[in-house]
């Protein structure tokens, strides 16, 4: 998104190198003109001038020139010599705009917005068009960098009538990028004019469940808004959707192991996948045909892709084996688009490879987001010893610290007999005499543990007079066994979990669990992943073209990362008096 807006800014400023060469009315004051002199000549003329207004104009020209030469430090020093309060209004707006641009060059959006709060900027609509555009652009950039996407889009919409050609086109693309990133609830906020049209378009696209439904929604919106900029020229991601809708998916390869250690996992995934396929058939859709391939008998990925191509396959779902996914990730390209059902730890893979799994890292990031949304800032952590625990802790810390959180203590658990003492060590501090006391700097504990381990954590916290310390856990604490005694031992623990296991009333879950009762227990997460893998087959292009879109799946709310990894955001529950109680979702 930032790159897109920077491109627009560059194009816009290129068209405005003669910025403010015209003068507003005399009461507003003269604006600096694009100088023919060098930076040093401008400063010499300013120092020699006996007219304070002329000296200020020369220095403002020098600041502008220094910025175009990317000499930010010099530009800042020169601007500090300009007496802002003694300038006329137009000069004050120009100086405030320069100050905002300098703040943005230092990645300080709040300082930029503060600079644009000068009273003179309230008269921006009286200024020459080129200055208006320049000020709107830097304010939009600052608002976006400050996380105020809707306000940034509103700023760009306000200047759209002053733009033509490439500048107008790029501004519209930037507006769409901002609006498409907004959550659905915010898009429903009433708004009028051009911006309201953008919001209603984004809402129509996000509300549609399939590519074809999206195309119908876009066509209907264009018919209702024929003069809107987006109706005249659809944003590039929506044009991409149109192209994808014209290429229907007719045949899928399901590449899973039928034998070996992963056979039971594979069966749950396959059953969930096919349950979703049959549901689509029953709903009167025309789903693609499915052809099965056994990855446990695979001798060569190249041979498999040649066979799949000869069979007319358009999309591969699988493999599940991490070793095969790693191989795919190292290739420069794949013959057929592939949705792998596991993740590689490598960098960016080929453009045709998408990766989806029940990554514990997603849940660790979800815990960090939830605790941050709940206003917490200082965390303790309990994770298992070993590579899995290290990965989960790393994902939690990265997300937690990126949002300003602090980790004040960590325990790596291993042997059950030592767990109680490790929990005590986490929540206690010792004074100079070695006497323990409850530490006050830990607001909650991040827990990644089995149900059996979690059963020890809460009673130990109570014993250590730390029972009021909230515990936020990954789904691994939930056995879905319905064992109230086990749940009672974990009263008060909050955990994220798949919608599949938290919503027993879902019709597809009920249908699947009636045939395979194990789908109602912890294996249900794999059935949910299989269902969602099927949903993704027709939505990969959509998520790639609209990376801010989400799919409400049964393994979580799904989105796509820049590396084309499917990421999950999960709902929340809490153990309360031996029962599982659903909690409000984490705010976006």
Tens of pLDDT, residues 437-461: 677 889 999 999 999 999 988 888 8
Query: Which tokens sit at 8?
Result: 């627009």
In a domain, 299, yes or no: yes
135-160 b/e (C-beta count within 10 Å ≥ 16 → b): bbbbbbbbbbbeebbbbbbbbbbbbb
What are the DSSP calls for 457-499, one per residue? HHHHHHHTT-TTS-EEE-GGG---S--HHHHHHTTT-EEE--H
Three-state SS for 360-424 is HHHHHHHHHHHHHHCCCCEEEEEEECCHHHHHHHHHHHHHHHHCCCEEEEEEEECCHHHHHHHHH
Q: Which residue from 412, 431, 360 is spatially nearest to 391, judged by alpha carbons?
A: 360
Binning pLDDT at 50, 70 and 90, where does residue 248 land?
confident
Residue 530's pLDDT is what?
97
Q: What is the pLDDT of residue 16?
A: 38
Task: Compute the distance between CA of residue 84 and CA of residue 23 in angstroms, rounded to an integer.
Answer: 18
Note whether 157 and 171 are same-domain residues: yes
**Is residue 160 assigned to a domain?**
yes
Residues 6+ apart with CB under 8 A from 4: 173, 174, 177
Residue 18: pLDDT over 70: no
Q: How many domains does the chain have?
A: 3
Are residues 89 and 52 located together in one domain of the fold? yes
| Statement to judge: residues 258 and 135 lie in one domain | no
Cβ atoms within 10 Å of 528's Cβ, excluding its own = 27
Same structural domain for residues 289 and 321?
Answer: yes
Buried b (16+ CB within 10 A) or exposed e, 211-244: beebbebbeebbeebeebbbbeebbebbebbeeb
In this prediction, residues 490-499 reach a mean pLDDT of: 95
Rounded mean pLDDT, 537-556: 86
In a domain, residue 438? The reply is: yes
What is the CA angle 301-302-303, rounded to 5? 90
Backbone Cα Rg of the chain = 29
405 lies in the same domain as 432: yes
Token code pair at residue 327: 């191989």
Whole-model pTM: value is: 0.72
| Cβ atoms 251, 311 nearer than 8 A | yes
pLDDT at 283 over 90: no
The pLDDT of residue 522 is above 50: yes
Mean pLDDT (whole number) for 32-45? 81
Region 362-368 average pLDDT: 95
Q: Above 60 in pLDDT, residue 282?
A: yes
Q: Is the same domain home to 345 and 483?
A: no
* Cα–Cα distance, 248 to 352 (Å, whole number): 17
pLDDT for residue 467:
85
- 304 shares its domain with 419: no
> In whole angstroms, what is the distance from residue 317 CA to residue 283 CA?
22
CA dihedral 173, 537, 322, 261 (to 10 degrees): 160
Q: Is residue 342 part of a domain?
A: yes
β-pairing, 494-496 vs 572-576, is: antiparallel
Question: What pLDDT is attached to residue 15?
Answer: 38
Residues 165 and 17 in one domain: yes
Q: Which structural domain, as residue segments, surrounds residue 471?
A: 360-497+573-583
Among 355, 385, 412, which residue terminates a domain? 355
Return the number of other C-beta atoms located less than 10 Å from residue 517's C-beta.
10
Average pLDDT over residues 179-203: 86
Rounded Cα distance between 62 and 94, Å, is: 13
Residues 348, 383: one domain? Answer: no
Average pLDDT for residues 392-405, to the nearest whole number? 94
Matching residue, tokens 């068009």:
129
The tens digit of pLDDT for each residue in 315-352 reads 999 999 999 999 999 999 999 999 999 999 777 899 99
pLDDT of residue 396: 97
- CB within 8 Å of 452: residues ≥ 6 apart: 416
Q: What is the pLDDT of residues 46-73, one digit of tens each?
A: 888 888 889 888 899 888 898 988 999 9
Tell me, what CATH number does 314's domain have? 3.40.50.2300
Find, among 147, 155, 143, 342, the residue nearest to 255 by Cα.
Answer: 342
Looking at residues 356-382, what average pLDDT do you find? 94
* Residue 505 lies inside a defined structural domain of this protein: no
SS3 445: strand
Share of the chain above pLDDT 70, in %: 93
In a domain, 62, yes or no: yes
Banded pLDDT at 431 (limits 50, 70, 90):
low
Residue 478 has a pLDDT of 95
The DSSP bridge partners found for residue 253 are 291, 316
pLDDT tier, 418 (very low <50, low <70, confident <90, very high otherwise): confident
Among residues 77, 49, 83, the alpha carbon closest in space to that of 63 is found at 77
- Do 346 and 380 have their domain in common? no
Domain boundary among 159, 181, 203: 181
Residues 382 and 450: their CA atoms lie apart, in Å, by: 11
Q: Which of 355, 379, 409 is at the close of a domain?
A: 355
Same domain? For 39 and 140 the reply is yes
309 inside domain: yes
Q: What is the pLDDT of residues 113-167, one digit of tens each?
A: 999 999 999 999 889 999 999 999 999 999 999 889 999 999 999 888 888 899 9
């Amino acid at each position: 998104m930032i790159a897109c807006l920077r491109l627009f800014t560059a194009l816009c400023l290129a068209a405005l190198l003669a910025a403010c060469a015209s003068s507003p009315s005399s009461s507003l004051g003269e604006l600096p003109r694009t100088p023919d002199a060098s930076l040093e000549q401008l400063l010499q003329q300013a120092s020699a001038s006996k007219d304070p207004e002329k000296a200020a104009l020369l220095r403002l020209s020098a600041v502008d020139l220094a910025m175009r030469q990317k000499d930010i430090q010099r530009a800042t020093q020169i601007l500090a010599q300009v007496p802002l309060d003694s300038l006329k209004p137009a000069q004050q707006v120009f100086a405030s705009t320069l100050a905002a641009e300098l703040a943005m060059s230092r990645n300080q959006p709040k300082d930029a917005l503060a600079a644009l709060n000068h009273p003179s900027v309230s008269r921006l609509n009286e200024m020459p068009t080129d200055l208006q555009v320049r000020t709107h652009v830097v304010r939009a950039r600052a608002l976006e960098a400050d996380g105020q996407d809707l306000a940034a889009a509103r700023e760009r919409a306000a200047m759209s009538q002053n733009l033509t050609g490439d500048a107008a086109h790029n501004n519209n693309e930037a507006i769409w990028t901002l609006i498409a990133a907004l959550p659905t609830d915010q898009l429903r906020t009433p708004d009028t004019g051009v911006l309201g049209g953008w919001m209603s378009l984004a809402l129509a696209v996000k509300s549609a469940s399939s590519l074809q439904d999206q195309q119908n929604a876009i066509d209907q919106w264009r018919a209702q808004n024929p003069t809107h900029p987006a109706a005249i020229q659809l944003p590039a991601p929506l044009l991409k959707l149109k192209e994808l809708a014209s290429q229907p998916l007719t045949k899928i390869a399901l590449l899973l192991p039928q034998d070996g250690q992963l056979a039971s996992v594979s069966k749950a995934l396959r059953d969930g996948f096919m349950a979703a396929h049959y549901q689509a058939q029953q709903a009167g859709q025309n789903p693609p045909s499915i052809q099965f391939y056994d990855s446990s008998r695979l001798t060569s990925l190249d041979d498999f892709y040649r066979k799949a191509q000869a069979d007319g396959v358009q999309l591969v779902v699988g493999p599940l084996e991490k070793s095969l996914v790693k191989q795919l990730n190292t290739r420069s390209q794949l013959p057929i688009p592939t949705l792998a059902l596991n993740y590689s730890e490598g960098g960016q893979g080929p453009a045709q490879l998408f990766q989806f799994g029940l990554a514990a890292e997603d849940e660790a990031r979800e815990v960090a987001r939830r605790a941050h949304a709940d206003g917490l800032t200082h965390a303790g952590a309990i994770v298992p010893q070993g590579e899995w625990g290290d990965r989960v802790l790393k994902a939690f810390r990265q997300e937690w610290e990126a949002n300003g959180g602090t980790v004040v203590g960590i325990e790596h658990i291993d042997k059950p007999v030592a767990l109680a003492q490790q929990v005590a060590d986490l929540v206690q501090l010792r004074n100079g005499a070695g006497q323990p006391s409850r530490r006050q700097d830990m607001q909650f504990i991040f827990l990644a543990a089995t149900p059996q381990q979690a059963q020890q954590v809460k009673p130990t916290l109570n014993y250590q007079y730390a029972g009021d310390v909230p515990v936020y856990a990954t789904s691994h604490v939930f056995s879905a066994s319905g064992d109230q005694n086990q749940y009672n031992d974990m009263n008060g623990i909050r955990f994220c979990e798949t919608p599949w296991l938290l919503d027993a009333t879902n019709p597809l879950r009920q249908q699947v669990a009636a045939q395979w009762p194990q789908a109602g227990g912890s294996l249900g997460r794999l059935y949910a992943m299989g269902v969602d893998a099927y949903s993704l087959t027709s939505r990969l292009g959509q998520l790639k073209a609209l990376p801010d879109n989400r799919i409400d799946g049964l393994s979580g709310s799904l989105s796509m990362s820049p590396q084309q990894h499917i990421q999950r955001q999960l709902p929340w529950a809490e153990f309360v008096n031996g029962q599982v109680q659903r909690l409000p979702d984490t705010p976006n």
